[in-house]
Amino acid sequence: MGKNKQKIDFHSFYHDLFPERWENLKKALLKEPVKSAYMKGLLKPYYLDEASVMAAMALDVQQGDTVLDLCAAPGGKTLILACQIGTSGSLTSNDRSSLRRNRLKRVISEHIPDSIAEHITVTGHDASRWSLHENGIYDKILLDAPCSSERHVITSPEHLNKWSPARTKHLAIQAYSMLVSASEAVKINGIIVYSTCALSPFENDGVLEKLSRKRKGRFSILHPEFPFGEPTTYGWQILPDTEEGHGPIYIAKIKRVM
Ligand SMILES: C[S@@+](CC[C@H](N)C(=O)[O-])C[C@H]1O[C@@H](n2cnc3c(N)ncnc32)[C@H](O)[C@@H]1O
């Protein structure tokens, strides 16, 4: 009974958010995620969703850039950033979870040539407190925030049972504090890509809307176009109902202007 009630809550919550799309979205979320081999510059292929590749590519990292990946484990996007900095930049790949950080280190050592790996530092700090220690340092920051991961929740009776509407609101608050921290750690004129695999708009445009409101004039929101997906008010989303199973991925790109 309790379990059924929770299930109805999850479905009705998302039905309210996506009234026209929820039935198709639900079917798409229940299918196996679509992953393909990413190889560019790697010692061996790494399998990830092309929509996740787009999130990492959106940062537009150039050789020589000083880059921070604030929530990096298990490391798919960090591999892409690492190959882009090449042998002249630096990449700090951070994750607070020691278990996931061990996996991140393994992923890096198995996929990245030594000449690039020596430019990567793996750290284990709280992303939301990063700017207490470093301010105005990085050319580019990726914040791939911990999020609702509805695709995972909907296929897991255990997670579905624990789910409540408070979860997305809590995650949105956490993501906002990480984004504020990133926005101080990046250099003036530096770029931040904020991404999630959440469906919930609270964790996506909601976070950007709050930043625009509370830190008015300090950033410009860039609106890059991507090969697939759809624009949102502040960013871009790829949802699996319309994109052949890819996503959910949300991508927003901002520039610090002061
Ligand atoms: C969406 S996953 C990142 C996926 C990763 N970017 C990739 O492409 O493989 C979010 C990560 O954030 C980490 N995390 C959660 N809270 C954190 C915090 N306060 N500071 C730093 N990392 C955190 C989690 O351990 C998790 O590995």
For residue 126 and ligand 1, the question of a CB distance below 6 A is answered with: yes
What integer pLDDT is reported at residue 2 of this predicted model? Answer: 47
What integer pLDDT is reported at residue 5 of this predicted model? Answer: 52
Regions in the chain scoring below 50 on pLDDT: 1-3, 6
What integer pLDDT is reported at residue 8 of this predicted model? Answer: 61
For residue 100 and ligand 1, the question of a CB distance below 6 A is answered with: yes
What integer pLDDT is reported at residue 39 of this predicted model? Answer: 97
Q: Taking the alpha carbons of 52, 56, 60, 61 in that order, is the dihedral positive or negative? A: negative
Whether 94 contacts 69, CB under 8 Å? yes
Output the CATH code of domain 2-8+35-256: 3.40.50.150
For residue 77 and ligand 1, the question of a CB distance below 6 A is answered with: yes
The residue ranges of every structural domain in the chain are 2-8+35-256
What integer pLDDT is reported at residue 158 of this predicted model? Answer: 94
CA distance linking residue 147 with residue 52, whole number of Å: 14
Q: Ligand 1: which atom is nearest the Cα of residue 126? A: 20
CB neighbourhood size of 251 (10 A): 26
Q: Ligand 1: which atom is nearest the Cα of residue 196? A: 1
Specify which residues 236 forms β-bridges with.
231, 251
What integer pLDDT is reported at residue 9 of this predicted model? Answer: 87
Residue 71 falls in the annotated catalytic set: no
pTM reported for the whole predicted model: 0.97
* Residue of 96, 164, 88, 106 lying closest to 127 (CA atoms): 96
Amino acid at 251: I
**pLDDT, tens digit (0-9, with 9 covering 90-100), for 149-171:** 999 999 999 999 999 999 999 99
For residue 196 and ligand 1, the question of a CB distance below 6 A is answered with: no
Alpha helices in the chain (DSSP H): 2-17, 22-30, 50-57, 76-85, 98-111, 114-117, 150-153, 157-162, 165-185, 205-214
Ligand 1: centre distance to CA 19 (Å)? 30
Residue whose CA is at the smallest distance from ligand 1 atom 23 = 96
**pLDDT, tens digit (0-9, with 9 covering 90-100), for 221-237:** 999 999 999 999 999 99
Q: Ligand 1: which atom is nearest the Cα of residue 77? A: 8
For residue 110 and ligand 1, the question of a CB distance below 6 A is answered with: no
Ligand 1: centre distance to CA 147 (Å)? 9
